[in-house]
Amino acid sequence: MRILGIDPGLGRMGWGVIEEEKAVIKPIGYDCIETPAKTPDEKRLLLIYKELTRVIEEYQPEVMAIEELFFSRNVSTAFMVGQARGVALLVAAQAGIEVITYAPSAVKLAVSGYGSADKKQIGQMVKAILKLKVLPKLDDTTDALAVAITHGFSGKLAKKLK
């Protein structure tokens, strides 16, 4: 199964495509869509739309695993991230791709075995699971790969429980 993992964000949206077959997970492609801060929001969202559409056309994932929104204080940041997340959901719907949502704590638990793991722990586990020589430069990309891995580990179980 080919899985596209998304770590939503307006300034940076991480994405990672993995292939899961018979409990073996390997990386196919990953990067981060970055939008310039001083660009109007609608143009940033359009850039995300175009880039995610390109990623889906290039890598042909069967499912999109996306992280749930989490915010504690800054409502305006959460709103902007929510808009970017909405664009990702739209692109998936247009491509006919199933979308599965994971809470941040579920991603941490699936990847590291600890629901409160920090970024460094998640990064090291992503590196080990995917047998990467080096971690991606940006945490957003690593987080997207972690979301994809989470679905790779739990996607079949989730389908059996439906």
Catalytic residues: 7, 67, 140
Angle at the Cα of 138 (from 132 to 143), degrees rounded to 5? Answer: 70
Please count the CA atoms within 13 angstroms of the CA of 26 that sit on its side-chain side: 4
Among 131, 153, 160, 9, CA closest to 80: 9
In Å, the largest CA–CA distance within the chain is 46
| CA dist., res. 118 & res. 103, Å (int) | 15
